[in-house]
Amino acid sequence: MADPNPARTFADPEDPIIAATVPDHYTPLLDVDPPAGENSRRPLKGFLVILSGLVLVGLLMALISENGPSVSQDSQQNDLTLNAPAESTNISAQFLEPASRGPSTGVSEKSFRLHSGVRAPFPWSNTMLTWQRTGYHFQPEKNWMNDPNGPMFYGGWYHFFYQYNPDAAVWGNIVWGHAVSKDLIEWLHLPLAMVADQWYDTNGVWTGSATLLSDGQVIMLYTGATNESVQVQNLAYPADLSDPLLVDWVKYPGNPVLVPPPGIDDKDFRDPTTAWYWPDGKWRIAIGSKVNKTGISLVYNTEDFKKYELIEGVLHAVPGTGMWECVDLYPVSLKEDNGLDTSFNGPGVKHVLKASLDDDKNDYYAIGTYSLESGNWTPDNPNLDVGIGLRYDYGKFYASKTFYDQNKQRRILWGWIGETDGESADIKKGWASVQSIPRTVVFDKKTGTNILQWPVAEIKSLRKSSKKFDKLEVGPGSVVTLEVEKATQMDITAEFEIDKEALKRIGESDVEYSCRTSGGSAQRGELGPFGLLLLADEGRCEQTPVYFYVAKGTDGQLKTFFCTDESRSSLANDVDKRIFGSTVPVIKGEKLSMRILVDHSIIESFAQGGRTCITSRVYPTKAIYGAAQLYVFNNATSASITASIQTWAMKSAYIRPYSSHQES
């Protein structure tokens, strides 16, 4: 739809600092209809809520015009200090948190809700909101998106399906969006693959997985929410296997093929996995569930994907982890760097079991053994079991799904990256959520205890101009500006070496360091923090540090932490600003290394080749467009570091709408 007010994509008169730098090629803000969520059947109530919201917006705008700060105000901080979180802009009016979306229908909370309760909204300008849309991450043209579904390679195309609300930028009315790509980077949007048009999925076409059979068939199993909000499993398949785009899909007339078994709640039975082939000639699938507070994965046998037998026992269970969503089970090679088909098992193979925990909205994985005798999976280290140990990502990353790419013999991981701003801002900008850059997954042969995640090689096709900064000496308490072409859309690699004498001098600590609770990048220690300041304005009142911190623990051993600090990422008060991170294993002789993908409001960071990953959503108000800058910093108290950094400006990916059967 054409924008009736195209001028609104440019800087507002009140935003002179942005007006000087905003380009004219960013996608305009979309026209947005009132949100259609799970309460959309009550139009009168929805109308009154919207009307009240409009009145409130009017009052707020009046207040802002008199008292609101200008985003062009001069920074109050012109030196190194990293001592305190950014001051949030406060407005006297208050608004209630957005409505809960999801739990009443039996799925996890989909609304982002600030933890401190009632907040006042920040006066977002159209210029700020337009900047937030990404340049090379996958997202629909408009509206809400969440879980990745059924990824596969078929007919020369990578297919990607996703949870989608075609009516609004909030969760609700979920159907399946569909897009295809030749390279996992540039995408063609196709018509909706499946909509909620049957009694067994009328309340939502929810998460599912694809299985490719040896005879060329494509099996798609997905969870449907029935007219009574019971979670059931359904079968769908392409209408025409000769169509490489798989535009049309057929739902099996005998759906649902699975209903919750005895002892499982109607709303705790969802997200079927890709099937794997069993030596007895049958296929097996897993489905997430729980019993009381124990997270479990049920397993079923099937020969034709229409009739199923529940296997006695469970694939795995972990007490205290709650509902398991989006379960995934796949093999990894202990010797090779290539991926393995989901059905592969045998010597030299371990199996990764992953679950998305509904209770804390994080994706946990563990490495273990999948027994062909018992049909159970057992973790190598019970202390690092699913839900209590390792995570795919220590930031904003959920409901992930892998698939085996037989085209290039690799396993690819997708993850949903939700918003952490206010729902009202999402409605105004007309979209919500992005997907992570697809990542390859392999076993870390050096540590033997974790996987490695890394952006697919195809992302390098978007690299443009490059700059190198070799062997920069950065003393304690220093910040160095890195002159780059485009600080809002970059691919960055960096290596750091700590002064060896400082390593020898470090004393023992009686307190264990934690990225989350130890003060972020403002907390100074002998060997850190040091790293990069991303999306920072000239005065650094807005900045997002991604950094290492080396500390000697209570056991006397050196530990390396990899963290992202959002506490100063924005002056806005209605966005989440957390400190994320975890330890990262460092092998003797390795330099500390990171790779960072910056794409407007999303930052994906990978330490030590992908042993620890952190994804952040950030919403700066000043450090946008040409006002954003990049710095290297060292906030250690005594150690100097040597940094070698390479940056690439990134082109935007060509993600285009569907117009007809397009095969090139």
DSSP letter (8 states) at residue 367 = E
Say if strands 377-379 and 410-417 run parallel, antiparallel, or are unpaired: unpaired
Does 147 qualify as catalytic in the annotation? yes
Question: Rounded to an integer, what distance in angstroms lies between the CA atom of residue 189 and that of residue 174?
Answer: 17
Q: Please give the distance of CA 302 from its chain centroid, rounded to a whole number.
A: 33
Question: Rounded to an integer, what distance in angstroms lies between the CA atom of residue 1 and that of residue 28?
Answer: 11
Residue among 147, 426, 491, 599 flagged as catalytic: 147
The answer to whether the Cα torsion of 76, 78, 83, 84 is positive or negative is: positive
Question: Rounded to an integer, what distance in angstroms lies between the CA atom of residue 494 and that of residue 630?
Answer: 13
| Residue 496 contacts residue 592 (beta carbons within 8 Å) | yes
Please name which of 314, 308, 323 lies closest in space to residue 268, comparing C-alpha atoms: 323
Task: Please state, as a whole number, how many other Cβ atoms lie within 10 Å of the Cβ of residue 222.
Answer: 28
Cβ neighbours of residue 616 under 8 Å, at least 6 residues apart?
395, 396, 544, 564, 566, 569, 580, 602, 603, 605
Question: Rounded to an integer, what distance in angstroms lies between the CA atom of residue 642 and that of residue 496?
Answer: 6
Could you give the maximum distance between any two Cα atoms of the chain, in Å?
A: 74
Q: Rg (Cα) of the chain, in Å, rounded? A: 25
Cβ neighbours of residue 285 under 8 Å, at least 6 residues apart?
221, 272, 273, 274, 275, 299, 300, 302, 308
Q: Which residue has the tokens 């062009």?
A: 72
HSE (side-chain half, CA atoms, 13 Å) at 380: 13
Instruction: Name the 3-class secondary structure at 287.
Output: strand
Q: Please give the distance of CA 71 from its chain centroid, rounded to a whole number.
A: 28
Report which secondary-structure segment, H or E, holds 44: helix 43-67
Please name which of 351, 370, 418, 482 lies closest in space to residue 111, comparing C-alpha atoms: 418
- Here the tokens at position 111 are 């609304």
Cβ neighbours of residue 657 under 8 Å, at least 6 residues apart?
141, 188, 189
Cβ neighbours of residue 336 under 8 Å, at least 6 residues apart?
none
The answer to whether the Cα torsion of 42, 45, 51, 52 is positive or negative is: negative
The answer to whether the Cα torsion of 578, 626, 424, 325 is positive or negative is: negative
Report which secondary-structure segment, H or E, holds 132: helix 126-132
DSSP letter (8 states) at residue 142 = S
Question: Rounded to an integer, what distance in angstroms lies between the CA atom of residue 187 and that of residue 171?
Answer: 23
Q: For 483-640, where are the E strands, in sequence order?
A: 489-498, 527-536, 544-552, 558-565, 579-583, 592-599, 602-607, 612-617, 629-634
Instruction: Name the 3-class secondary structure at 470.
Output: strand
Question: Rounded to an integer, what distance in angstroms lies between the CA atom of residue 337 and that of residue 324?
Answer: 29
Count Cβ neighbours within 10 Å for each residue of 363-399 and write b for 16 or more, e otherwise: bbbbbbebeeeebbbebeeeebbbbbbbbbbbbbbbb
Q: What angle do CA 632, 438, 405 make, to 5 degrees?
A: 145
Catalytic residue numbers? 147
